[in-house]
Copies of this chain bind each other. A is one copy, B any other.
Amino acid sequence: MDLALAEARAAAARGEVPVGAVVTDGEGRVLASAGNRVEELHDACAHAELLALRAAAAARGEPRLPDCTLHVTLEPCPLCAAAAALFRVKRLCFGAYDPKGGGVEHGPRLFAAPGALHRPEVVGGIRESEAAALLRAFFAPLR
């Protein structure tokens, strides 16, 4: 989560919403890390999680990551929760909860839905206050 928080801080420095993500393999080795790049890439889907998952899969040359953990500083939105399911990640560890935009513990609760494609283990609230403080500091001057 240290590296994910560093990615979030780097995203903020680029003017992006400060969310960072890391994918580790079954031995805890880092396969990929990323921060948000929506504005830079002109891609509304360039969320940290999606970029990290795609990079990890590309590095491995496999479209699925069944032994991997996705670490992210914020509860994934429905897009990124669906991506975690499509990549079949084993575990999702996230920082701050997102009652408004989250898709795991809030909103559509994609992994809990009947007929869900895949249900990774989920651990929320890891270093929540640090992750949330980054987001608050980013949005405060915009409000």
B-contacting residues of A (Cβ < 8 Å)? 38-39, 41-46, 50, 53-54, 57-58, 60-64, 77-79, 81-83, 86-88, 100-101, 103, 107-108, 110, 113, 115, 117
Contact call B113/A83, Cβ cutoff below 8 A? no
Chain B residues with Cβ under 8 A from A58's Cβ? 41-43
Q: Is the CB of A57 within 8 A of B42?
A: yes
Chain B residues whose C-beta falls within 8 Å of the C-beta of A45 in the assembled complex: 50, 53-54, 83, 86-87
- Complex CA distance for A81 and B77, rounded to whole angstroms: 12
6 cross-chain pairs, A with B, having the tightest CB-CB distances, nearest first: A79-B82, A108-B108, A44-B86, A78-B82, A44-B87, A44-B63
A117 (CB) vs chain B CBs: closest residue: B101
* Complex CA–CA separation, A80 to B30 (angstroms): 27
List the B residue with the shortest CB-CB distance to A37: B63
Rounded to whole angstroms, the CA-CA distance of A39 and B57 in the bound complex is 11
Assess the B83–A44 pair: CB atoms within 8 A: yes
- The answer to whether B57 touches A82, judged by C-beta atoms less than 8 angstroms apart, is no
Query: Quick one: which of A44, A54, A57, A62 has the most chain B CB within 10 A?
Result: A44
Which residues from B are CB-within-8-Å of A82?
77-79, 82, 103
Residue of B57, B101, B108 touching A110 (CB-CB under 8 A): B108
A82 and B100 CA atoms in complex are apart in Å by 14
